[in-house]
Amino acid sequence: MDQSYRGGNRHDSSKKIRSVPVRLKAFQALERRLPEKHPKREHIERGRKNLLAGFAGERSLDYFLSCLRGETPYWIYHDLRLKADSRYFFQMDTVVLTPRFILILEVKNYAGTVHFDEFGQVTRLHNGHKTSFANPIDQVQRQQMQLEHFLHMHHFPPVPVFGLVVFSSPSTMLSAAGDTDKALNQQILKAEALPKRISQFNDHFTTPFLTPTQMTDLSSLLLNTHTPLTKQLLFTYGIPSSDLLTGIHCPKCERLAMERLHRSSYWRCPHCQHKEKEAYVDTFRDYALLISDRITNREARTFLHIPSERYTLRLLQAMHLKHTGSTRLRVYQLTRLLEGRR
């Protein structure tokens, strides 16, 4: 989950780029490690494409958020997942935090014509095919209530919380039935209209509900209680780990499996001849994404096709992973590999 800052007098403040969601990385890893004829491959490819389209829509929104200006500070959070109560979590695409109000932005990247009828049903017409999907207004209203409860649970003032559904594709056509159109205009908009809408909120709410200290405290709370979704895709799709193709995949062509050059620390792809010294890191990341965020030397040797226990130990130590246990029974934590590329 990433945070950025806009507005006020801190234009020199650093901005964290929206990162690829862990779940999308998991789909990509699973797709390259499933055999071509695997019965679940089509489902995985479809899931990866849907997530990729959603991520592209969220990224396109970043440009319009970067246009926010003025004295009001805008603290922006991406892919925020918080605990609503003791059992359930809720996730929000983008949250805009200001002292005067909080906005939840639910981003949709749909092609074609999207229609809202008087019964709350939502349909899309694209390339002659009509499909229905859950009403995003209901979704963002649930998020709004859950965030209000979250703020109350942590003893913050009753700052106004609003939810907007933002369609990121410029080619999307929006339509509504009868009187529904006027109500929808309050909660649905195209991405290019977002800066103006936020400016309207700013003009309407002139009194701060949060002090600078409360803003900082709330920001820390959001960052510290954010809990990424870690549910394994193999479980979701009923795929046994024994179905996965193992070995070090090539970072360039993504094919399997790279071979270690004799008396060298480099790995070479037999397909595209690409050579890389740390190619193994991405394969450890695949293991963390698909199987477990913990690994032993034996499990690493099996998954990476490395016969030498000593050489595998060198690779594990080179990544500076946290670990528990004695040398032979040591378990390495791969969590940090999910936080960045290397």
The whole-angstrom separation of Cα 137 and Cα 164 is 8
The whole-angstrom separation of Cα 75 and Cα 15 is 10
Whether 57 and 196 share a structural domain: yes
Range of the domain at 207: 2-225
φ, ψ at 324 (rounded to 5°):
-135, 155
Q: 168, 108 in Cβ contact below 8 A?
A: yes
Contacts made by residues 136-142, CB under 8 angstroms, sequence distance 24+: 136/106, 136/108, 136/165, 136/188, 137/165, 137/184, 137/187, 137/188, 139/106, 139/165, 140/104, 140/106, 140/164, 140/165, 140/187, 142/90
Q: Which of 225, 254, 286 is the last residue of a domain?
A: 225
Assess if residue 334 is contained within a domain: yes
Overall number of domains in the chain: 2
The whole-angstrom separation of Cα 265 and Cα 277 is 6
Whether 214 and 150 share a structural domain: yes
Whether 183 and 297 share a structural domain: no
Whether 215 and 121 share a structural domain: yes
pLDDT 10s per residue in the chain (342 long)? 555 545 443 333 223 346 788 889 999 999 999 999 999 999 999 999 988 988 888 888 888 888 887 677 889 998 888 988 777 899 998 999 999 999 999 999 888 999 988 888 899 998 888 999 899 999 999 999 999 999 999 999 999 999 999 999 888 998 888 766 666 778 999 999 999 999 999 999 999 999 999 999 999 999 888 887 766 789 999 999 999 999 999 999 999 999 999 888 899 999 999 999 999 999 999 999 999 999 999 999 999 999 999 999 999 999 999 999 887 789 999 988 887 544
Question: Is 235 exposed, middle or buried, given 0-12, 13-18 or 19+ CB atoms closer than 10 A?
Answer: exposed
Assess if residue 230 is contained within a domain: no
Strand pairing report for 267-268 and 259-260? antiparallel
pTM score, whole prediction: 0.77
The position carrying tokens 């780990």 is 241
The whole-angstrom separation of Cα 304 and Cα 306 is 6
Could you write out the DSSP letters of every residue in 140-159? Answer: HHHHHHHHHHHHHHTT----
Whether 201 and 265 share a structural domain: no
